[in-house]
Amino acid sequence: MMPTIRESSSPHLAIEADGVQKVFDRVEAVRGVTLSVSRGELFGLLGPDGAGKTTTIEMLCGAQKPTAGRIRILGHDPVRGRASLRGRIGYMSEEFSLYDDLTVEENIDFFADLHRVPDDERRRRKSEVLQFSRLSPFVNRLARQLSGGMKKKLALCCVLIYRPEVLLLDEPTTGIDPVSRREFWELVYNFWSRGMTIFVSTPYLDEAERFQRVALMYEGEIIACGSPDQLKESANVDVLDVATPAPRDLLRRLRGHSAVLGAALRGDHLHLRVTSVEEGRKALDAVVQTQGIEPKDVRPIAPSLEDVFMTVVDVRQHRTPTEARRGVISPIGEDMPFEPRRGRSGPAIETFGLTKRFGTFTAVDRLHLRIASGEIFGFVGANGAGKTTTIKMLCGILPPTSGRARVAGFDAFREADRVKPCIGYMSQLFSLYRDLTVKENLELYASLYDVPRSLVAERQRWVLRVADLTGREDGLTRDLAIGWRQRLALGCAILHQPEIVFLDEPTSGVDPLSRRKFWDLIYALSDLGMTIFVTTHYMDEAEHCDRVGFMHAGHLIAVGSPSEMKRRLIEGVVIEIEVDEPMRAQQVLTRAGDFRHVALFGRKLHVHADDIAAASQEARERLLRAGISVGDLRPTLASLEDAFMAAIERAESSSAMGGDPLWERGVRGDR
């Protein structure tokens, strides 16, 4: 007779981990993790790639057995008590498990069968999840024909169909566009509001605001845990927001200053993490006196979770301010083995009615665009908007159905052989050879691009240094973390010092720390005079660009600097409201119909309205009448995501009403 497994746990806790460790071949992936999650809590596990997040979630769901320590899920050991937890735990891995040759509905039915959901209950639940996920029109479409965002939502529907008590999501929004990301979180919020316990791992620190509590994970350990507000209050970090007409110049001048611990560009603003507000202002004053770069506005702001994370890492590693500064604002632009380029007299890229059709489907429709030499241009849009197709046409990989394009002064299609030596291209699907070593990839690309022998060794050494791969030259590329791979891929694409670099979603799935280093490299290349054309669906990343173009359904619907886009596309004011039930609060205010737009931003709402005072009073009264607790309510700066969503809504509204589409009414801003 088998011995009885005795389980014990606090009844109010859904998840308990006590001193959990996991070792793989002498590598300690998780080091003594201790945490607890209450029933009905929305909890986030945040950290960069390689921090141990996936291993932790796999142990929580029973897919991995801990080397040491104790785990309880709903009072049971997830490995020994697997039978007791069947159907009570839902797990969605980073890669998720869909069947490509089944339709949307067949995938959902398969998981309903697997968990023996009764027929009547299945029909009701299936109708509900399809409606919430906006997948109802696609029930007969094969899973392999869905966009990345739709696949993520379908994978979540397959878990939600059997209504687990605890839902574990491993990096669920990696690689999906802002529209799908927002819809995904609305779906998650809906089921969390019904009492489901939800545990989410993510490398995106901007998502931390969505959780009730978060644990910051680094090098296998939990280095901080608490609510977002608690972490910000305890981090003891000062941040300055600096509006300036020359943000990149100012960033260069501040690099190395003892008061500046970290910096990030946000359009025409500079986000500075400083030793103190007073010392930060002194640093800015010194730049004004010596360089004449005068900021328009300087103001202290609340730190972000990324600021908190960087500060906690510095403290944990006992780094001095100087050492911390070197780790964040790396001197990538120094010792670059390239010659500065003189800007060409004409545009680097120009398109005239560029169109691409695949059968009856129009992927890119009458694209008119002009990009200046040396510009960092961001191409932003949802999956399937036409971004990758545009890049492939500009690189001569795809012929257009109609229209023309000039790249580096040459006809992109009639003179493709003259264009190719002038460009570097980094594809979305990672353009390196995974079975070659780092060194072999560099040597191959140097040969393909005909880099002069006298320059090869120096340029390869530089790529290894900026990609943090010195000493890893003989390792296989497939074994590298994604952040290293992406910087190596960019290095290979620029070995021949091209005039124009095309980067197709280069940081998709890359953690924030690696993304910051990647963008330091892009700025350095731009300073040399290279033109950077980058596609992305991360709005905070689009803020780094000189100008941005919004793509939607194959059309370019708006173009301008990040600040111009916010001013032009956001009508009225934006009010930020803290609430205790964000999902229900959004529904209440949306149904009211008195506001231009109501969007979820973590645990807060962004409400677009005409008048601050009237809208604030109306929103507060409606929420209180609905029994929703209201915290701070204040005007806030519109985000680029606000502008993007506003542009899409205006474009779709105009088309639905039978008017001229937005993209045909001069909103392009490129003339």
CA distance 155 to 160: 9
**Closest to 185 measured CA to CA, from 633, 607, 605:** 605
Give the relative orientation of helices 305-316 and 321-328 as an angle to the nearest 10 degrees: 130
47-67 pLDDT tens trace: 887 789 999 999 999 999 999
CA distance 296 to 33: 46
Note the pLDDT of residue 6: 42
Least confident of 287-291, 347-351, 576-580, 624-628: 287-291
Q: Is it the case that residue 366 has pLDDT exceeding 90? A: yes
Q: Is it the case that residue 475 has pLDDT exceeding 60? A: yes
Taking residues 313-338, what's their average pLDDT?
A: 59
Note the pLDDT of residue 1: 37
Contact 389, 364 (CB under 8 A): yes
**What is the three-class DSSP state of 408?**
coil
Residue 593 binned pLDDT confidence (cut-offs 50, 70, 90): confident
Among 1.10.10, 3.40.140, 3.30.70, 3.40.30, name the CATH number for the domain at 236-328: 3.30.70
Note the pLDDT of residue 332: 62
**Closest to 524 measured CA to CA, from 324, 344, 359, 341:** 341
Q: Is it the case that residue 343 has pLDDT exceeding 80? A: no
Contact 342, 279 (CB under 8 A): no
Q: Is it the case that residue 286 has pLDDT exceeding 80? A: yes
* pTM of the predicted model as reported, rounded to 2 decimal places: 0.79
CA distance 47 to 222: 9
Contact 402, 357 (CB under 8 A): no
356 residue type, one letter: K
Taking residues 317-330, what's their average pLDDT?
A: 49
Note the pLDDT of residue 554: 92
Long-range pairs for 583-586: beta carbons < 8 A, 24 or more residues apart: 583/186, 583/189, 583/190, 583/192, 583/193, 584/193, 584/626, 584/628, 585/623, 585/626, 585/628, 586/186
Does CATH number 3.40.50.300 belong to domain 349-564?
A: yes
Q: Is it the case that residue 145 has pLDDT exceeding 70? A: yes
For the chain, the C-alpha Rg in angstroms (whole number) is: 26
Q: Is it the case that residue 609 has pLDDT exceeding 50? A: yes
Contact 313, 223 (CB under 8 A): yes
Tokens of 305: 């979770």
377-424 pLDDT tens trace: 999 987 778 998 999 999 998 999 999 999 999 999 999 999 999 999
Note the pLDDT of residue 428: 66
CA distance 238 to 522: 27
207-263 pLDDT tens trace: 787 888 999 998 899 999 999 889 988 888 899 999 888 887 888 888 778 899 888
488 has which bridge partners?
none
Residue 321 binned pLDDT confidence (cut-offs 50, 70, 90): low
Residues 6+ apart with CB under 8 A from 380: 387, 535, 536, 537, 539, 542, 548, 549, 550, 551, 644
For strands 376-381 and 402-407, give the pairing: unpaired
Cα-Cα-Cα-Cα dihedral sign, residues 464, 469, 470, 474:
negative
Tokens of 290: 């010596």
CA distance 59 to 51: 15
Residue 655 binned pLDDT confidence (cut-offs 50, 70, 90): low
Among 3.40.50.300, 3.20.20.100, 1.25.40.10, 3.40.50.620, name the CATH number for the domain at 13-225: 3.40.50.300
Q: How far is CA 250 from CA 216, 256, 328, in A?
A: 31, 12, 16
Characterise 191 by phi-psi region: left (phi > 0), alpha (psi -120 to 50), beta (else).
alpha
- Under DSSP, the state recorded for 103 is B
Identify the top-confidence range among 16-20, 295-299, 321-325: 16-20
Taking residues 453-469, what's their average pLDDT?
A: 88
Taking residues 20-37, what's their average pLDDT?
A: 93
CA distance 505 to 559: 19
**Where do we find the tokens 């890492």?**
313
H/E element holding 556? strand 555-560
Q: How far is CA 497 from CA 459, 470, 491, in A?
A: 10, 21, 10
Same fold: 13-225 with 349-564: yes
Work out the number of other CB atoms within 10 angstroms of the CB of residue 201.
Answer: 25
Tokens of 38: 């209450």
CA distance 229 to 359: 52
User: Nearest 5°: phi and psi at 52?
Assistant: 110, 10
**Where do we find the tokens 């979820």?**
600
Identify the top-confidence range among 306-310, 413-417, 428-432, 638-642: 413-417
DSSP letter for each residue of 444-469: HHHHHTT--HHHHHHHHHHHHHHTT-
Q: How far is CA 600 from CA 44, 439, 545, 556, 606, in A?
A: 17, 46, 25, 25, 6
Note the pLDDT of residue 429: 61
Contact 606, 637 (CB under 8 A): no
481-517 pLDDT tens trace: 777 888 888 889 999 999 999 998 888 766 667 777 7
Please return the burial class of 634, using the count of CB atoms within 10 Å of its CB with bins 0-12, 13-18 and 19+. exposed
**Domain residue spans of the chain:** 13-225, 236-328, 349-564
Note the pLDDT of residue 327: 43
Q: Is it the case that residue 633 has pLDDT exceeding 70? A: yes
**Closest to 641 measured CA to CA, from 152, 172, 206:** 206
Residue 649 binned pLDDT confidence (cut-offs 50, 70, 90): confident
Residue 334 binned pLDDT confidence (cut-offs 50, 70, 90): low
b/e string for 226-257 if b means 16 or more Cβ within 10 A? eebeebbeebebbbbbbbbebbbebbbbbbeb
Residue 660 binned pLDDT confidence (cut-offs 50, 70, 90): very low
Tokens of 392: 């492939």
177-206 pLDDT tens trace: 777 777 788 888 888 888 999 999 987 777
Higher pLDDT, 324 or 25: 25
**Average pLDDT for the chain:** 85
CA distance 417 to 399: 14
CA distance 392 to 335: 32
545-581 pLDDT tens trace: 989 999 988 999 999 998 889 888 888 888 989 888 8
End-to-end CA distance of the chain: 81
